Structure 1
């Protein structure tokens, strides 16, 4: 009984010492070119942009979407956490627009460093990055 109580107390102390902010930092953030005038997007608009069903920003400017490879862990986290879909569902949406001739797939980049560079230098660009890759050349977009 005392051993169980000590184990439970030790677990509580361990949980209390965990950096809860680390969970927030592990999130993948939606980022856009600094010239984009839409600081907030709804989840539906974000999904439509990444599924390539919507090709423009809410203000009418062309949107250029950048993604990491399907098997990249950051891609999987972004798609699950921020779009609430699975990577294979997003790939199916891309395949549908490409094979139907109604659109094209997003631009693929190999690394987050390349993602940062493309978003920073491409007008209307939208993508995602982990917090440590952010700099002042891009802006974080809030998903409502």
Structure 2
């Protein structure tokens, strides 16, 4: 079952208040490496085979997960850029964001946690 909404989140310590879908797309496809404020961004993925990851890329890019995996395989092969590291589920993403103010991730539920901030809601 596909998620109805996904939430792109950053650490509450980040200066970023909101991001456009285009900005998040650039970060998660390796086309951009910094947040709008110039800070280097560390995008985090959920588990490679998770439905959450598949839903996220479908909502963000309009592409299915097989095409996204193929895209990253090509980029990885050419040595241009690495795909975002997979950290696990929603709780793992929030935990990483608490420890790394430059990280950006996505979760299935709107977080009720003062340590993180929603910067984009998909779709």
Same fold (TM over 0.5): yes
Cα RMSD (Å): 2.2
1:140 partnered with 2:118 = yes
Residue ranges of structure 1 left out of the alignment (5+ in a row): 1-24
Q: Which runs of no fewer than 5 residues in structure 2 stay unpaired?
A: none
TM-score (norm 1): 0.72
Give 1 or 2 for the bigger CA radius of gyration: 1
C-alpha offsets along residues 31-83 of structure 1, whole Å, 9 cap, x if unaligned?
A: 11222222222222211101122111111111001111232121122222234
Matched positions, count: 120
The residue aligned with 2:62 is 84
Say yes or no: does 1:75 pair with 2:75: no
Higher percent of residues as helix: 1
> What pairs with 1:1-144 in structure 2 (closer than 5 Å)?
26-131=4-109, 133-142=111-120
Higher relative contact order at CA 8 Å, sep ≥6: structure 1 or structure 2?
2
In structure 1, distance between residues paired with 2:16 and 2:83:
22
